[in-house]
Structures are given as structure tokens and as C-alpha cells.
Amino acid sequence: MELKRVVVTGLGALTPLGNTVSEYWNGLKNGVSGAAPITRFDASKFKTQFACEVKGYDPENYFDRKEARKMDLFSQFAMVVADEAVKDARLVEDNIDLDRIGVIWGSGIGGLRTFQEECVNFANGDGTPRFNPFFIPKMIADISAGHISIKHGFRGPNFVTVSACASATNALIDAYNYIRLGMADVIVSGGSEAAVTEAGVGGFNALKALSERNDSPETASRPFDADRDGFVLGEGAGAIILEEYEHAKARGAKIYAEIISGAMSADAYHITAPHPEGRGAFTVMKNVLAQSGTNPEEVDYINVHGTSTPLGDLSEVKAIKQVFGDHAYNLNISSTKSMTGHLLGAAGAIEAIASIMAIQHNVVPPTINHFTDDENLDSRLNLTFNKAQEREVKVALSNTFGFGGHNTSVLFRQLKD
């Protein structure tokens, strides 16, 4: 059986840098930080008091009040970006068979605020269970894909992947593979997360995973800098419409790029720490190239996982050097998390969009907040520090890794016939 080609025909974004794809891209190429003091709750007793929140978001601009009340913020974010992408791809105008459109979404956590509020209400009561009937359907991570399908009537394959911070990339890889196999013509993919809550920040603080640079939120996310001290929690969503190539061509769809490979591996090492030598990161990048017959030398840009943690950034770079050899020095490497913070299960979605936009515009977004070289990092690598760089980007690789030791990589390529 011949596998089909898969292309990107629509995008949507709601991020700490901007609430549409074009606002997001403007923020990325201009090196803007999305970090600021937390507004979603009183964080004055928390070790970390800042985050990369979505700004100026009012649910009433998108939903009627009754509808919004039944959706956790992570589902609202999913609906908003899916709408932008569906419009961008003209799925409705072009009258596509709805049985052949699927939704494969990613979320690392799901409705954390809903879960927290319902448990707090119960704990504050007299033991009588008064759980809201919408508690479970608001909280479960998969409801995001359900909501998108209900709104648009998409009746194809429908589910959510959960692999912590790799979730959205797993969703993309599944969507890619199902279309390759002919099981759907179009899949709305991506991911969303809204974990800037007391439980989210407190939980990650307890893991010592977050930056505690409260006196300078906007410089806290500093991947590859010698003084990095943890990641900055972000929230938001990204949507990517994947479509079978001939199907897209036949309807004259705008094609952003082709997705040519997706690979997965496990560290099989520790629940939260990365393998120190980047063993799993090595395997996943090696496989993402091999599966598509791509030579390492063909890759122009790597959008790294690079969360700004002391261990993670080093092990990922070790793996890149092993996979790419001398070509590692010709690549542009950047961590857009320096600007967006870490959107957990949505990271893979907005970073795939950053990679696709880099191909579209031949601009590599920067790793901002570089102040001091880390002597453990090879200074010959081009980590695209502080300012965007222009270069032709034909092939871009995006890495995302998750707690549990899940590693995922996807490859996007400029479309060629």
C-alpha cells in the first residue's frame, strides 16, 4: 500500500505573545518575552510569582456565557485556535466530506482549574458530595477534541494524546500517520493547556522545575544561558490542519509546508529528569531523519525542546551533536520557549507553528535572554541568540520531550512537487 503525502493547510494560535498566528509570529521574530507577574490567582506565597499567560483573553469574545461556563479554559483555548485554523484552511467553504475530517488533539493535563475548584468545594463542605454535573466533562483532557468535533460536525477519528509536554507532537504524529494510511483526508491537530493555577504552579515548584527569578520575569526563560534556573510556565494553544496532499491540491488549498516525518522514543530512565547523555533524544532525532530518508545535512533549523532547565538543555544539545556531526555547526538552533514560556502539552503545537512559519518566511526566531555563555556548551553551535536570523529554511525539525521520558520529533519541509 502506498502511503499518502501530508501537508499543512491551516494554522491557529493563542499564545503569550499574541492571540492569532500573525500576532504570535510577530512576537517570535521580534524576540518578545511573554512573561509577566501571574494574574490568574494570588501568587504572593508561591516561590514562582510569574508565568507566560495569554493576554487580553475574554471568553465572551468567542463564546456565549452558558457555553463558556461548561468549558475549562484549556478547552476554550482549543476551540478558539481550531476556529482560526478551520477558517484559514477554508474547510467549511470548500464543503469537505465531514466524515473524512478528524480531530486529534494534545493536552498534558486537561482541566486542572476545574479539578482544583471542585475538590476545594468538596473539602470545604460537610462531606456531602455536591459535585457539579459538568465537573468530569470539563476536566477530562479528551473533551477538547470532543468540543471541536461537535462545533464543526467533524465525524472522522477523534481523540486526545497525553504524553506531558510531548502531547501535541504525539497528536501531530498520529494525525500525520492516519492521513498517510488513508483513514482521513483532513485532521485538525494541535494542543492546548491552561495550568497556570495554584495547583499547577505549586506542583511544578515542588518539583523544582520552575524558574524563581521573580525580580525579572521577562529574562527568566533563558535556555542555554549559564544562569538558567528552570522553565517558565506558559498557557495557550496551537492548531495545525493536516491534509492529504492530493486532496489539498484538488481544492486549491493554500499549503504552508509538508510534514515528512514523525518519530517517538522513550528515555526509559527517570520520571522527570532527562537522560544525561540525551539517549532518547538521540534516538528520536535519528529516527525522524531515517524514516523520511532525510540526510542530516538537509536540515536547516531545529526548534529545540530547550526549556531552560540546567540538565535538559545540555542533554538535548549532546544528542544534536551526535546525530548531526559537523553539520550541527551549520544549523540554526533556537528555543522559542525563551519567549513563550513552556506551554506543556501545547508546546509541540505552537513550536510546530514556529517551525512552519520559519519555512514560510525564511526567518529563524531567536533564543532570547542570552547573557552569559555556558562553558558546558559548544560555542561553535549557532543557538540563534537574542535576534532572529534570516536564512533559507527548507527543512525544519521540532523536538518536544515530556515527563515520563517521552521524546517526539517532527520534520517539516518546504513544499516541492
Partner 1 sequence: MSEIAEKVKAIIIDKLGVEESEVTPEASFTNDLGADSLDTVELIMEFEKEFNVSIPDDQAENIATVGQAVSYLEEHAK
Which residues contribute to the site for partner 1 (CB under 8 A)? Answer: 64-67, 130, 132-134, 137
Q: How far is the CB of 158 from partner 1 (least distance, A)?
A: 20
Ramachandran quadrant class, 258 (left: phi over 0; alpha: psi -120 to 50; beta: rest):
beta
Closer to partner 1 by CB, 64 or 215: give it.
Answer: 64
Chain-centroid distance, C-alpha 287: 20
Q: How far is the CB of 61 from partner 1 (least distance, A)?
A: 16
Closer to partner 1 by CB, 70 or 321: give it.
Answer: 70
Q: How far is the CB of 68 from partner 1 (least distance, A)?
A: 9
Closer to partner 1 by CB, 111 or 296: give it.
Answer: 111
Closer to partner 1 by CB, 79 or 240: give it.
Answer: 79
80/101 Cα distance (integer angstroms): 18
Q: How far is the CB of 73 from partner 1 (least distance, A)?
A: 18
30/36 Cα distance (integer angstroms): 17
Q: How far is the CB of 130 from partner 1 (least distance, A)?
A: 6
398/262 Cα distance (integer angstroms): 10
87/100 Cα distance (integer angstroms): 17
Provide φ and ψ at 315, rounded to 5°. -70, -35
* DSSP label at residue 112: H
Q: Where are the alpha helices (DSSP H) in 341-391?
A: 347-361
- Residues with a catalytic annotation lie at 165
401/336 Cα distance (integer angstroms): 15
Which SS3 state, helix, strand or coil, does residue 241 take? strand
Q: How far is the CB of 131 from partner 1 (least distance, A)?
A: 9
Closer to partner 1 by CB, 137 or 405: give it.
Answer: 137
259/108 Cα distance (integer angstroms): 23
Q: How far is the CB of 132 from partner 1 (least distance, A)?
A: 6
User: Quick check: 172 and 242 in contact, CB under 8 A?
Assistant: yes
The x, y and z cell numbers of residue 223, run together, are: 535556555
Closer to partner 1 by CB, 65 or 380: give it.
Answer: 65
Closer to partner 1 by CB, 72 or 198: give it.
Answer: 72
Q: How far is the CB of 66 from partner 1 (least distance, A)?
A: 3
Other beta carbons within 10 angstroms of residue 97's beta carbon come to 12
Q: Could you please report the per-residue DSSP string of 184-214?
A: -SEEEEEEEE---SHHHHHHHHHTT-B---T
Sequence letter at residue 406: H
Say which residues have a Cβ less than 8 Å from residue 130's Cβ, sequence separation at least 6: 121, 122
Say which residues have a Cβ less than 8 Å from residue 266's Cβ, sequence separation at least 6: 280, 404, 405, 406, 407
322/374 Cα distance (integer angstroms): 19
**Strand pairing category for 236-244 and 332-334:** unpaired
Closer to partner 1 by CB, 68 or 266: give it.
Answer: 68
